[in-house]
Amino acid sequence: MAEPTPEPPEDLEPAELPAPGDEQPARPGRGRRAALLSLRLVAGAVATVAAAATVGAVGLLPLPTSGITPPSVEVTPVAADEVRTCAGGALRLGDETGANADTAVAIGIPAVRADAVNASLQHGSISESDAGNGGSAAAPQVLRIASAEGALLTGAQSQVVDASNFSGFSAAACAEPSGSIWLTGGATTVGRTSILTISNPTPVRALVSLTIYGEQGVIEAPGLTGIDVAAGAQRVLSLAGFAPGLLSPVVHVEARGGQVVAYLQQSIVRGLDATGVDLVDAAPDPATELVFPGVQIHDSLGTSRAMSLEDWDDVAPVVRILNPGTEPAEVTVSVTPVDAEIAGTGFTAQAEPGVVTELALDSGADVDSGVALADGVYTVTVSSAAPVVAGVRTSAAADIGPVETEGIVPAPPSDVAWYTAAPALGDLALFTVPPGPAPVLATVNPTDAELAVILKRLGNEEVTLTIPAGGAVTTALVAGETYELQGATGLRAAVSYAADEAMAAFPVTVARPVSGPIVIRP
């Protein structure tokens, strides 16, 4: 395309290639122009081929990447003391006469059992409490051992209260302080009192904030954030102060600074009759699979009859589910009896995000017999597409016979129990059984292989429990003793009590993994 314009000789650029024609006189002639044209064509062709080769090579050739790898060093942290803090004595708002309703008062002293393996146990207690019992035996007990290989610590408390307008049996494991605690249980409707206790056993002040979920969603209320829990102190808060009239609260306790232990104590007064107390243990973090071992249905006939009484509808067994995420999740609940001769049930439900869903545990059962779930020990499993927290409540009520007459009906002896999902255990686990009626260890094996677990009563005989894959086993325990589980990897276990007036349970927990080694890139 350069041809239409005649080219002056200067433009011929003889030096661009070491061609033999370099020294030719620059006289425009037909031959020379042809030579130059072909020279250019050759140069262009060479350049085009080179360019194509380059493009092909760059685009297609896979080249290895080499060079340095980021340096790192693995640091194994110095182990910290292991600490458990118990719930402390039962608390009542106001005194016997009902005065001073905004002050918590301790009633009675819980029976605390604690034990340690391969370590020396130090006892202490929370020194200051809103309930005014700091440092006393009724204050939350603080159990501590120096961390060591193979050292295990456990503690639990139980308490029978029989005061006017406050009666029942509660039991709870002493818990490890944490920065994030989920409590699924309680209610703040009329007659239901829920008291939140937050203890800080660490040497650092904790700033606690609460998120309360209800059946309508998250509760907005003043005072939910910036709750100051001084080092070694306990705060007692009434849930009704934040969210009155709530049927099914779920509380998320988050602490900055020091780590805390939180319990929810629920007490029930129906009419004038105190008919139940329980302590809600901390639930595991939201998960897609929750296992509740040892859920006891006791006095199912009496309970279903009691339900027809006024204000007794919450004796029915329920599962309470919160989906803290942002997307709805389908939840499958299965209720499986340990005893193969009784029928189980199961159902699915939709858990809307941010909202607490409470469902009757027997939702999926046919109620021909009038009693959906027969008496017995069940395993409740909650599976969800999204991580959820859940709790199970059962109540016992003595059978008072068919209610036929009008007028005042004496309240049946009754108690309530909240079950918390049990975490998967490691190889070794230690638990203690505080005094209470008919303690039972329920073990569930959600794994795919049969587990042979050695249950050893400290300083005493040991038995081997064989739990089939996906199965469950219950074992009677001796109250006041401490047991060690060996070979329990993957097992879920809970201790539960069941009597007409004394229902309670707590899961067997393990210490959260001590901070493991961490990779540092300095």
Site residues (vs another protein, CB under 8 A): 1-2, 4-5, 7-8, 10-13, 15-16, 40-41, 43-44, 47-48, 51, 54-55, 58-61, 63-73, 75-81, 147, 179, 202-204, 207, 231, 255-259, 514-522
With a CB cutoff of 8 Å and minimum separation 6, the contacts of 152 are 116, 117, 118, 119, 428, 429, 430, 484, 511
Distance (Å, whole) CA 490 – CA 508: 12
**For another protein, the closer CB: 108 or 179:** 179
Minimum distance from CB of 118 to another protein (Å)? Answer: 17
Strands 217-218 and 206-214: antiparallel
For residue 146, the Cα-to-chain-centroid distance in whole angstroms is 26
Smallest distance from another protein to CB 53, Å = 11
Task: Find where tokens 């980021």 sit.
Answer: 70
Of the two residues 181 and 195, which places its CB atom closer to another protein in the complex?
A: 181
Q: How far is the CB of 510 from another protein (least distance, A)?
A: 15
Nearer to another protein (CB atom), residue 83 or residue 321: 83
Task: Name the minimum Å distance from CB 57 to another protein.
Answer: 8
Smallest gap from residue 294 Cβ to another protein (A): 30
Q: How far is CA 318 from CA 62, 334, 357, 361, 478, in A?
A: 61, 12, 10, 5, 29
CB of 230 to another protein, least distance (A): 12
Taking the alpha carbons of 130, 131, 136, 137 in that order, is the dihedral positive or negative? Answer: negative
Shortest reach from residue 425's CB to another protein, in Å: 20
Q: Which is nearer to another protein, 16 or 450 (CB)?
A: 16
Count the residues in the chain.
522
DSSP helix/strand/coil, 334: strand
Residue 68 or 408 with smaller CB distance to another protein: 68
Q: 3-state class of 32 per DSSP?
A: helix
Residue 99 to residues 91, 196, 218, 256, 390: CA-CA distances in angstroms? Answer: 14, 20, 31, 35, 35
Query: Of 72 and 164, which has the nearer Cβ to another protein?
Result: 72
Q: Quick one: 75 or 163, whose CB is closer to another protein?
A: 75
Q: Which is nearer to another protein, 35 or 105 (CB)?
A: 35
List 210's β-bridge partners, or say none: 253
Provide the minimum distance between the beta carbon of 6 and another protein in the complex, in angstroms, as a whole number. 8
Q: Which is nearer to another protein, 73 or 99 (CB)?
A: 73
Residues 235 and 197 sit within 8 Å (Cβ to Cβ): yes
Tally of CB atoms within 10 A around 15 = 8
Sequence-distant (6+) residues with CB within 8 A of 341 are: none
| Least distance in angstroms from the C-beta of 180 to another protein | 8
Query: Which two three-digit tokens encode residue 126?
Result: 């929370």
Q: How far apart are CA 444 and CA 433, in angstroms?
A: 18
